[in-house]
């Protein structure tokens, strides 16, 4: 069984492979990559742990911000 550190490194690797610096991740992308629920991701945004795009409406995340959040 992998420990948490290895899992985080694997997720970060997947994020880097699947996106470029210009691509934004939707809440669904983040959920699929991290296996976290939408409510967990929304909660992280609400309390300021995960930074989203300032554009109103759809939740969009920069891959670097997701990486920072996972590395906490």
HEC per residue, 1-65: CCCHHHHHHHHHHHHHHHCCCCCCEEHHHHHHHHCCCHHHHHHHHHCCCCCCCCCCCCCEECHHH
Q: Residue 57 — pLDDT band, cuts 50, 70, 90?
A: confident
> What share of the chain in percent tops pLDDT 70?
85
Q: Where are the domains of the chain?
A: 4-70
Residue 68 or residue 7, greater confidence: 68
CA distance 3 to 51: 26
pLDDT at 18: 60
Q: Angle at which helices 4-18 and 27-34 pack, to 10 degrees?
A: 140
Q: Tell me: pLDDT of 41 over 90.
A: yes
C-beta atoms surrounding 67 within 10 Å = 15
pTM: 0.68
Residue 35 or residue 16, greater confidence: 35
What does CATH list as the number for 4-70? 1.10.1660
pLDDT at 48: 94
């Amino acid at each position: 069984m992998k420990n948490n550190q290895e899992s985080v490194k694997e997720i970060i690797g997947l994020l880097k492979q699947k996106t470029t610096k210009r691509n934004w991740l939707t809440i669904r992308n983040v959920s699929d990559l991290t296996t976290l629920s939408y409510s967990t991701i929304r909660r992280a945004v609400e309390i300021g742990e995960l930074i989203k795009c300032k554009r109103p409406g759809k939740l969009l995340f920069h891959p670097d911000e997701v990486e920072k959040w996972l590395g906490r």
